[in-house]
Structure 1
Amino acid sequence: MYATRIWDLPTRLFHWALAICVVGLVVTANIGGNAMNWHFRFGYSVLTLLLFRISWGFVGGRWSRFVSFVYSPASLLRHLRGESPATFTAGHSPTGALSVFAMLLVLLAQVGSGLFADDDIAFAGPLSALVSGDTVSLATGYHKEVGKVILIVLVALHLLAIAYYKWVRKEDLVRPMFAGDKVLSTPVEPSKDTAATRLLALGLLLLCAYGVNRLIEFGASSGF
């Protein structure tokens, strides 16, 4: 058996920070009122994290890069038939990859629509003044109804998949996302997880945060 670094520290921190922020988004949306101030903060944080993860998908550790979990339909069928080589299960499996891409797209749609949404009471997205009323209405409807439901369903499916792998397939997906290493039966190339790569990740995160902040400031200044 081989203990192999699969998830680098930036990927692990991203995963748990995103989980906290998504829970925060759902809770504050249901509370409403002054909690919406925190809803906006969580939304901006999620957008920053998503931009970081997309960037990290090109320059991050071996198993965090998109190229490591973009599979063909044939590979997906092989996986479903139980014919997965070690490279299919070291990082994201073909089904896990679909879950990752779905989560990224749904969250991008949710926070993106939130930027243009307006509750017609006290809170409006920072970019709502830049588009037409019809666009605001569409964004608001998606954000408050359709997108919210899709996100909750996707999170529930994600948790069910973790439970299935834990209790049925006897594979713990949570522990490696804390520790970083997986114990594999076949050696594979580990992810680089050094001080230099972590500094690179920090720089990317700060750059993404700066971009989101500038976007918000642009929307606020354009609304007057």
Structure 2
Amino acid sequence: MTIDNEDLRLAVYRWFAETGQAPQVAELADRFGVDTGVVRGGLRALAGQRHVVLDDQDRVLMAHPFASIPLGFAVMGTSTLWWGGCAWDSFALAHLLPDEPDVLVSTRCPGCDRPHAWVVGRDAPPGGDQVAHFLVPVARMWDDVVHTCGHQRLFCGESCVDDWLERSGNERGYVMDLATLWRLASGWYAGRLDRGYTRREPATAAAYLREAGLRGPFWGLPSG
């Protein structure tokens, strides 16, 4: 008994898109008519290709931009609630879900705990003076992807970023405004719900990142 890995990948992503939740190993085994060991093997292969992130029991934690664990963001559609894996992924959901004209992204500022929410659509970035802070540089994002995503957050402004960095002892990463975050998220996952999707590697996506307005060694790009 086998599963085509692309069929399995699509099943995981579409399950997330339709329900807001990750499919369980047993649910995927029932869907494909195979035993759970076959599903676990397929999920591990997808994790090796960085299509999904698993825990030590082969449960799906993330299939970017979807998450099954809270990492600071909730994303509400017309009738479905998703966990946003990070600021980047939360803004990306509006662009990936064809049946949602926009989504409501909500979070709290890590610096002062103030609540924030934006209606994020596909036509233009939301307004606001808030900023996103990305702690982990692109070359190290997959060293611990849960840690990375948990530290791509939205703050009231740069003063809240500075306060949080001082309290946490972390070094400053990359700060961007909402418009830049929206541009970064808008096309990054294009085609991810379709068959034959080719994963976009940050290290090989220089042109896309430059078009989004990103520069510097944090992104593996020239500063100019």
TM above 0.5, yes or no, is: no
TM range (shorter): under 0.3
Question: Which structure is higher in strand share?
Answer: 2
Which of the two has higher C-alpha Rg?
1
TM (norm. structure 1) is 0.26
